[in-house]
Amino acid sequence: MWWKDSITKLSGVGIKRAADLERLGIATIGDLLYFYPRQGAYLDYSEVKTIRDLVPDGSKQLFKAKIFRINNVNRGKRSFVTITVYDNTGYADLYLFAGQRFLGRKFKPEDEVLISGRVKAGRLNKMVSPELLQAFDGDGTTPGILPVYSLTGSLTQNVMRKLVHEALTIAEQDLPESLPKRVLQKTNFLPRTEALKNIHFPVSKEKLNKARQRFIFEELFLLQCGLLYYRQGMEAQRAWQFANDGIKVQTVIKNLPFDLTDAQKKVWNEIAQDLETSRPMHRILQGDVGSGKTAVAALALVKAAENGYQSCIMAPTEILARQHFETLSNYLQPAGIKIGLLVGGMHKRAQSIENGVCSSGDMELWHDNIAVKQYKYRDDLLQDLRNGEIDVLVGTHALLQDDVVFKALALVVTDEQHRFGVEQRAKLVAKGEIGVHTLVMTATPIPRTLALTVYGDLDISKMEGLPPGRKPIKTLLYSEQQREAVYKGIRHQAELGHQVYVVCPLVEDSEEVVARSVEQVYLEMKETVLKGISTALIHGKMKSLEKDAIMTDFANGKISVLFSTTVIEVGVNVPNATLMVVENAERFGLAQLHQLRGRVGRGTEQSFCALMVGTEDSEAIERLQILASSEDGFYLAEQDLRLRGAGQLFGLRQHGLPDLHIADILRDTDIIVEARKMAQECVSNDTEREEIKQLVQMQLDERFQMIFNS
């Protein structure tokens, strides 16, 4: 198939240019055809203005001018580039910040450039963060509406346009349709070849919009089909069918140290109903920070054991796995449930003897009740697991290893699901002999449209509200001038015997990013305002064992102030932590800040979240005030999606799903619903389901094949 041919088959693509294209994800001719121009970045030469014609109304405008001068400006901690441009009607100033400052080196005076951006209302002839391109210099194409592509290395817009032209010429001769007959009959989409031509070189704005609509739908439709196809394959299996709640479930509920909230009862009812059918459960439990998801998961684990089956719960870090082990041990002991812990650092007995660790004894018991075992040796734990001596196994990614074999696995729970992909989840489920029930949990509230896309193969349970007794966290914004007051607050909380997190966006200082690094802040404070206070530093560049040791010491109260990057966004439960300080809070999304804030307020003492704001930008401050005004994670997630877009909020690739190239989950909500409805109709029909699978195997765009093959 020609679309799988190497990009080197095209004219002018040698080893160096092929390497540049590969950095953009373009290895084949098919990759090139589905490498769409940047959204909204087309150059319509019928709309090129002069500087005098620019209108300061906030709308996006295009004009051509020559560069007059380039200035690098440094104002304290802020640095930016100003470029003054001119034409025969006047002058204009361009302001370039952060990631655009390299343009000050790319261009020189008298270069002719095309400038696309928004002229802010009331700011005549002034553009902030516009796009700059070398002016059109002729490539054999009549100027009309020209595409603008992302570039790297030595690639230019003219080179990309020529390559796409050649690929489209090849496609014209033999390009199969990619949507099933039902979809084409029900819609008014452009044929595939015509759509590809008009997404790259539109003959009109109307044709461009039609081409975009077709490929937005196609992308979302194939993603939904893949998820539904995957789910249908899972549901075709027979699962272990559990009985109604018995004495062990009732015992655990009775002995919980709190009463279940109405939200917990509602969600548990949904899960219990799933477990009492012969169809495998595929459910995600969304619960806000501290809403009590672990207690609900515990009931599912007990229900499996009560019916004579095994279950497991997988957490993304060892510290979180150990926390689950201790919490579940307390919950499950009254019902006599046998629980074990498997983490990556456990030795086999043979290794331990050889290394002189220990020469006798098969396990170390850690119990008030024989049901709870802290295994010393990995092979002892795995033998008991194979023999059915362990009802519930708690662990990390170590659970995925081939030598972890269950006797009768019936339920898999994964915590902080966004840290695991579809393939990892499937590998764990495959350890059961027949269909295994699956419950995935996340403390990251996900807006409905995003959940529909990312978790299209799962039913969704939403648990809102906090357990009784939790005090609202007071969230306050502080400017640089108020730093001393925040420092005094940190020391005050430490002296009261409480613990504090200080979170920074960077590990170390950077020339490219104006923000405080955790190393800088840690060194600055430990010898000054926090002298005599127990402090520690943790960040993602450290080894896992080192990070786990520090987090364990913090959880045990040995460290009063922990300086960190976002590695503690999801982590250990420390009820004694009462203050979260976030440096350069404007650099974080609302959902992430809400997760960080959720590290405190887990005990009975009043807790605080101090947001240090390193900007005077009114939009950034307004966004942070949204966080200060609400503790509703679902509301904040919706606002984050609205303000930042789905790409930044929640990537798809980490779920084992393909990235979206043209669809936007916020903008294309209606198309998501339409695509899912049509996907359900197609996948439920045996003939059409096979047609879709065959179409996917013939795709120029191979992103969706892995879902259908999983």
pLDDT at 682: 86
Lowest mean pLDDT among 55-69, 333-347, 570-584, 635-649: 635-649
Query: How far apart, in whole angstroms, are the C-alpha atoms of residue 620 and residue 640?
Result: 12
Half-sphere exposure of 629 toward its Cβ, with a 13 Å CA cutoff?
Answer: 9
Please state which of the ranges 101-105, 209-213, 274-278, 618-622 shows the lowest mean pLDDT.
Answer: 101-105
Q: What share of the chain is helix, strand, coil (3-state, %, to 5)?
A: 45, 20, 40
Separation CA 332–CA 325 (nearest Å)? 10
**What residues contact 91, with CB distance under 8 A and at least 6 apart?**
51, 68, 84, 85, 125
- Residue 397: name the closest of 297, 301, 318 by CA: 318
- Helix pair angle (544-555, 318-332), 10° resolution: 40
Instruction: Using the predicted structure, report yes or no on whether residue 645 has a pLDDT greater than 80.
Output: no
What is the rounded distance in angstroms from the CA atom of residue 514 to the CA atom of residue 566? Answer: 17
C-alpha to C-alpha distance for 270 and 265, rounded to whole angstroms = 9
Note whether 591 and 626 are within 8 A (CB).
Answer: no
Distance CA 533, CA 551 (A): 17
What residues have CB less than 8 Å from 310, skipping those under 6 apart? 304, 385, 388, 390, 391, 392, 393, 406, 407, 408, 409, 410, 411
The pTM of the whole model exceeds 0.75? no
Nearest to 287, CA basis, from 570, 605, 673, 665: 570
Spatial separation of the C-alpha atoms in residues 329 and 338, rounded to whole Å:
9
Residue environment code for 17-35, b if the CB has 16+ CB neighbours within 10 A, otherwise e: beebbeebebebbbbbbbb
Average pLDDT over residues 72-87: 85
pLDDT given at position 139 = 46
Look at strands 145-146 and 78-87 and give their pairing: unpaired
Mutual angle of helices 633-644 and 590-597, in 10-degree steps: 150
Using CA of residue 98, residue 103, residue 106, residue 110, what is the dihedral sign?
negative
- Residue owning tokens 């099933």: 180
Mean pLDDT calculated for residue range 486-491:
94
Label residue 453 by pLDDT band (50, 70, 90). Answer: low
310: tokens are 């095994």
How many whole angstroms separate alpha carbon 604 and alpha carbon 466?
13
* More reliable by pLDDT, 694 or 571: 694
Q: β-strand 145-146 against 43-44: which pairing, if any? A: antiparallel
CA–CA distance, 294 with 296 (Å, rounded to integer): 5
- 409-414/310-314 β-pairing: parallel
Q: Is the per-residue pLDDT at 658 higher than 60?
A: yes
> 471-491 burial by CB neighbour count: b if 16+ within 10 A, else e?
eebebebbeeeeeeebbebbb
For residue 466, is pLDDT > 80? no
Spatial contact of 666 and 641, defined as CB atoms under 8 Å apart: yes
- Percentage of the chain beyond pLDDT 90 is 37
Give the integer Cα–Cα distance in Å for 580 and 597: 6
Average pLDDT over residues 25-42: 88
Residue recorded with tokens 């590809």:
196
- The reported pLDDT for the residue numbered 370 is 37
Residue 709 CA, chain-centre distance (Å), reads: 23
Position with higher pLDDT, 511 vs 399: 399
Q: Which tens digit of pLDDT belongs to each residue from 307-321?
A: 999 999 998 888 788
Return d(Cα 605, Cα 595) in angstroms, integer.
Answer: 19
Report the DSSP beta bridge partners of residue 499.
577
Which amino acid is it at 92?
A
Contact predicate 710/426, CB 8 Å: yes
For residues 265-270, average pLDDT: 95
Each residue of 143-181: pLDDT tens digit?
578 888 988 888 888 899 999 999 999 999 888 888 888
Q: What is the mean pLDDT of the chain?
A: 83
What is d(CA 251, CA 591) in angstroms, rounded to the nearest whole number? 36
